Chain A
Amino acid sequence: SQTIHQWPATLVQPVGSPLSLECTVEGTSNPNLYWYRQAAGRGLQLLFYSVGIGQISSEVPQNLSASRPQDRQFILSSKKLLLSDSGFYLCAWSPIGGGISAFFGQGTRLTVV
Protein backbone atom coordinates (compact mmCIF):
# COMPACT_ATOMS: atom_id res chain seq x y z
CA SER A 1 0.00 0.00 0.00
CA GLN A 2 1.03 3.56 -0.55
CA THR A 3 2.23 5.74 2.29
CA ILE A 4 3.44 9.28 2.53
CA HIS A 5 5.90 10.54 5.09
CA GLN A 6 6.47 14.14 5.96
CA TRP A 7 8.86 15.56 8.53
CA PRO A 8 9.41 17.19 10.86
CA ALA A 9 5.99 17.42 12.49
CA THR A 10 6.73 20.73 14.15
CA LEU A 11 9.42 23.32 13.62
CA VAL A 12 10.29 26.64 15.21
CA GLN A 13 12.73 28.72 13.22
CA PRO A 14 14.04 32.26 13.58
CA VAL A 15 13.43 34.86 10.92
CA GLY A 16 16.13 34.76 8.29
CA SER A 17 17.05 31.13 8.84
CA PRO A 18 16.83 28.51 6.08
CA LEU A 19 14.12 25.88 5.77
CA SER A 20 14.00 22.35 4.46
CA LEU A 21 10.91 20.18 4.73
CA GLU A 22 10.99 16.73 3.25
CA CYS A 23 8.28 14.49 1.93
CA THR A 24 8.62 10.95 0.61
CA VAL A 25 6.09 8.58 -0.87
CA GLU A 26 6.31 4.81 -0.79
CA GLY A 27 4.50 2.14 -2.72
CA THR A 28 3.91 4.00 -5.95
CA SER A 29 5.86 5.22 -8.94
CA ASN A 30 5.87 8.55 -10.71
CA PRO A 31 3.28 10.19 -8.48
CA ASN A 32 2.19 13.78 -8.78
CA LEU A 33 3.47 15.59 -5.69
CA TYR A 34 2.13 18.72 -4.07
CA TRP A 35 3.04 21.19 -1.35
CA TYR A 36 0.21 23.09 0.31
CA ARG A 37 0.18 25.72 3.02
CA GLN A 38 -2.63 26.31 5.42
CA ALA A 39 -2.49 29.57 7.31
CA ALA A 40 -4.24 29.62 10.68
CA GLY A 41 -8.01 29.50 10.27
CA ARG A 42 -7.82 29.36 6.51
CA GLY A 43 -8.16 26.92 3.67
CA LEU A 44 -5.44 25.23 1.68
CA GLN A 45 -3.23 27.10 -0.72
CA LEU A 46 -1.35 25.17 -3.37
CA LEU A 47 2.30 26.23 -3.39
CA PHE A 48 4.00 23.82 -5.77
CA TYR A 49 3.24 20.72 -7.72
CA SER A 50 5.44 18.32 -9.61
CA VAL A 51 4.61 15.77 -12.29
CA GLY A 52 8.12 14.31 -12.47
CA ILE A 53 11.73 14.52 -11.36
CA GLY A 54 13.03 18.04 -11.73
CA GLN A 55 9.63 19.34 -12.90
CA ILE A 56 8.25 21.95 -10.54
CA SER A 57 5.35 24.31 -11.09
CA SER A 58 4.83 27.23 -8.78
CA GLU A 59 1.35 28.48 -8.10
CA VAL A 60 2.09 31.48 -5.92
CA PRO A 61 5.08 33.84 -5.97
CA GLN A 62 6.74 33.58 -2.60
CA ASN A 63 9.79 33.16 -0.48
CA LEU A 64 9.79 29.40 -0.95
CA SER A 65 11.09 26.93 -3.49
CA ALA A 66 10.59 23.25 -4.14
CA SER A 67 12.71 20.50 -5.60
CA ARG A 68 12.16 16.92 -6.62
CA PRO A 69 15.55 15.21 -6.70
CA GLN A 70 14.06 11.73 -6.82
CA ASP A 71 10.82 10.27 -8.11
CA ARG A 72 9.22 9.95 -4.69
CA GLN A 73 10.91 12.78 -2.84
CA PHE A 74 9.66 16.33 -2.67
CA ILE A 75 11.46 19.06 -0.74
CA LEU A 76 10.22 22.48 0.28
CA SER A 77 12.93 25.04 0.99
CA SER A 78 13.62 28.62 1.82
CA LYS A 79 16.91 30.49 2.03
CA LYS A 80 15.58 33.07 4.50
CA LEU A 81 12.34 32.59 6.37
CA LEU A 82 9.90 35.43 6.93
CA LEU A 83 7.37 35.74 9.72
CA SER A 84 4.65 35.33 7.13
CA ASP A 85 5.96 31.87 6.27
CA SER A 86 4.47 30.52 9.48
CA GLY A 87 1.74 28.01 8.86
CA PHE A 88 0.84 24.39 8.45
CA TYR A 89 2.50 22.75 5.45
CA LEU A 90 1.07 19.66 3.87
CA CYS A 91 2.62 17.38 1.31
CA ALA A 92 0.32 15.32 -0.88
CA TRP A 93 0.52 12.82 -3.68
CA SER A 94 -1.82 11.61 -6.36
CA PRO A 95 -1.43 8.90 -8.99
CA ILE A 96 0.17 9.72 -12.32
CA GLY A 97 -2.06 11.92 -14.41
CA GLY A 98 -3.66 13.32 -11.29
CA GLY A 99 -5.83 10.30 -10.99
CA ILE A 100 -8.67 10.14 -8.68
CA SER A 101 -7.59 11.26 -5.25
CA ALA A 102 -4.94 13.15 -3.40
CA PHE A 103 -3.50 11.71 -0.22
CA PHE A 104 -1.84 13.84 2.40
CA GLY A 105 1.03 13.61 4.81
CA GLN A 106 0.58 14.48 8.44
CA GLY A 107 1.78 18.01 7.99
CA THR A 108 4.48 20.24 9.45
CA ARG A 109 3.56 23.08 11.75
CA LEU A 110 6.11 25.83 11.11
CA THR A 111 6.43 28.78 13.43
CA VAL A 112 8.79 31.53 12.42
CA VAL A 113 9.84 33.68 15.36
Chain B
Amino acid sequence: AQKVTQAQTEISVVEKEDVTLDCVYETRDTTYYLFWYKQPPSGELVFLIRRNSFDEQNEISGRYSWNFQKSTSSFNFTITASQVVDSAVYFCALMDSNYQLIWGAGTKLIIKP
Protein backbone atom coordinates (compact mmCIF):
# COMPACT_ATOMS: atom_id res chain seq x y z
CA ALA B 1 0.00 0.00 0.00
CA GLN B 2 1.11 3.55 -0.65
CA LYS B 3 1.29 5.51 2.54
CA VAL B 4 2.99 8.50 4.10
CA THR B 5 3.33 8.76 7.85
CA GLN B 6 4.17 11.90 9.75
CA ALA B 7 4.09 10.62 13.29
CA GLN B 8 4.64 14.02 14.89
CA THR B 9 1.29 15.74 15.10
CA GLU B 10 2.68 18.88 16.71
CA ILE B 11 6.13 20.14 17.63
CA SER B 12 6.85 23.20 19.71
CA VAL B 13 10.35 24.66 20.07
CA VAL B 14 11.89 27.91 21.10
CA GLU B 15 13.26 30.18 18.42
CA LYS B 16 16.80 29.41 17.27
CA GLU B 17 16.52 25.75 18.14
CA ASP B 18 16.99 23.14 15.44
CA VAL B 19 14.00 20.95 14.69
CA THR B 20 13.53 17.82 12.58
CA LEU B 21 10.23 16.78 11.05
CA ASP B 22 9.94 13.09 10.33
CA CYS B 23 8.42 11.49 7.26
CA VAL B 24 8.22 7.76 6.60
CA TYR B 25 6.70 6.37 3.44
CA GLU B 26 5.58 3.08 1.99
CA THR B 27 5.41 2.32 -1.70
CA ARG B 28 5.65 -0.63 -4.00
CA ASP B 29 6.94 1.56 -6.83
CA THR B 30 10.63 1.69 -7.69
CA THR B 31 10.25 5.15 -9.24
CA TYR B 32 8.58 7.79 -7.15
CA TYR B 33 8.94 11.35 -5.95
CA LEU B 34 8.87 12.78 -2.47
CA PHE B 35 7.85 16.30 -1.55
CA TRP B 36 7.69 18.68 1.35
CA TYR B 37 5.14 21.49 1.46
CA LYS B 38 4.66 24.28 3.97
CA GLN B 39 1.21 25.55 4.87
CA PRO B 40 1.34 28.83 6.80
CA PRO B 41 -1.74 30.14 8.64
CA SER B 42 -2.92 31.79 5.43
CA GLY B 43 -3.65 28.30 4.11
CA GLU B 44 -1.73 28.32 0.88
CA LEU B 45 0.49 25.32 0.24
CA VAL B 46 4.04 26.30 -0.57
CA PHE B 47 6.25 23.86 -2.41
CA LEU B 48 9.60 23.36 -0.64
CA ILE B 49 11.38 20.45 -2.24
CA ARG B 50 11.07 17.49 -4.57
CA ARG B 51 13.30 14.45 -4.50
CA ASN B 52 13.16 11.50 -6.88
CA SER B 53 13.70 7.95 -5.72
CA PHE B 54 17.04 7.60 -7.49
CA ASP B 55 18.62 10.61 -5.89
CA GLU B 56 19.56 9.99 -2.28
CA GLN B 57 21.79 12.99 -2.06
CA ASN B 58 20.88 15.17 0.86
CA GLU B 59 20.01 18.74 0.12
CA ILE B 60 20.54 21.98 1.95
CA SER B 61 18.80 25.23 1.16
CA GLY B 62 19.64 27.96 3.60
CA ARG B 63 18.35 26.90 6.99
CA TYR B 64 16.47 23.95 5.50
CA SER B 65 17.93 20.52 4.90
CA TRP B 66 16.49 17.20 3.86
CA ASN B 67 17.74 13.69 4.58
CA PHE B 68 16.47 11.04 2.19
CA GLN B 69 17.24 7.44 3.15
CA LYS B 70 15.75 4.69 1.03
CA SER B 71 16.98 2.01 3.42
CA THR B 72 14.60 3.29 6.08
CA SER B 73 12.03 4.80 3.68
CA SER B 74 12.41 8.15 5.32
CA PHE B 75 12.59 11.71 4.06
CA ASN B 76 13.18 13.91 7.06
CA PHE B 77 13.23 17.69 7.09
CA THR B 78 15.41 19.76 9.40
CA ILE B 79 15.15 23.46 10.09
CA THR B 80 18.27 24.93 11.61
CA ALA B 81 18.11 27.98 13.85
CA SER B 82 14.33 28.08 13.65
CA GLN B 83 12.47 31.37 13.39
CA VAL B 84 8.94 32.37 14.31
CA VAL B 85 8.12 32.68 10.60
CA ASP B 86 8.77 28.97 10.27
CA SER B 87 5.60 28.30 12.25
CA ALA B 88 3.29 26.39 9.94
CA VAL B 89 1.96 22.96 9.14
CA TYR B 90 4.41 20.94 7.10
CA PHE B 91 3.29 18.15 4.81
CA CYS B 92 5.28 15.32 3.35
CA ALA B 93 3.91 13.72 0.19
CA LEU B 94 4.67 10.84 -2.13
CA MET B 95 3.95 10.88 -5.85
CA ASP B 96 3.44 7.34 -7.09
CA SER B 97 3.88 5.82 -10.53
CA ASN B 98 0.38 6.98 -11.47
CA TYR B 99 1.40 10.54 -10.62
CA GLN B 100 -0.99 10.72 -7.70
CA LEU B 101 0.05 12.55 -4.58
CA ILE B 102 -0.32 10.66 -1.32
CA TRP B 103 -0.15 12.96 1.66
CA GLY B 104 0.96 12.64 5.23
CA ALA B 105 -1.32 14.06 7.90
CA GLY B 106 1.00 16.99 8.48
CA THR B 107 3.08 18.22 11.40
CA LYS B 108 2.18 21.47 13.07
CA LEU B 109 5.34 23.35 13.95
CA ILE B 110 5.16 26.08 16.56
CA ILE B 111 8.17 28.31 17.02
CA LYS B 112 8.01 30.32 20.22
CA PRO B 113 9.86 33.64 20.45
Question: Which residues of A are at the interface with B, using a C-beta cutoff of 8 A?
Answer: 32, 34, 42-46, 49, 88, 90, 92, 94, 97-107, 109
Contact = CB atoms under 8 A, between A and B. Distances in A.
A88 B106 contact: no
A44 B42 CA distance: 16
Given A98-B99, A102-B35, A102-B95, 11 more contacts: A43-B105, A98-B98, A100-B52, A101-B47, A101-B50, A103-B47, A104-B45, A104-B47, A106-B43, A106-B44, A107-B43
Contact-residue bracket for chain B = 20 to 34
A79 B98 CA distance: 30
Contacts of B100: 46, 49, 98
Interface in B60-113: 91, 93, 95, 98-101, 103-106
Contacts of A46: 100-101, 103
Q: 4 tightest A-B contacts by CB? A: A98-B99, A104-B45, A43-B105, A44-B103
A109 B43 contact: yes
B91 A94 contact: no
Contacts of B98: 98
A98 B100 CA distance: 7
A100 B53 CA distance: 12
Given A43-B91, A43-B104, A44-B91, A104 B99 contact: no
Interface string B28-46: 0000010101000011110
Contacts of B47: 101-104
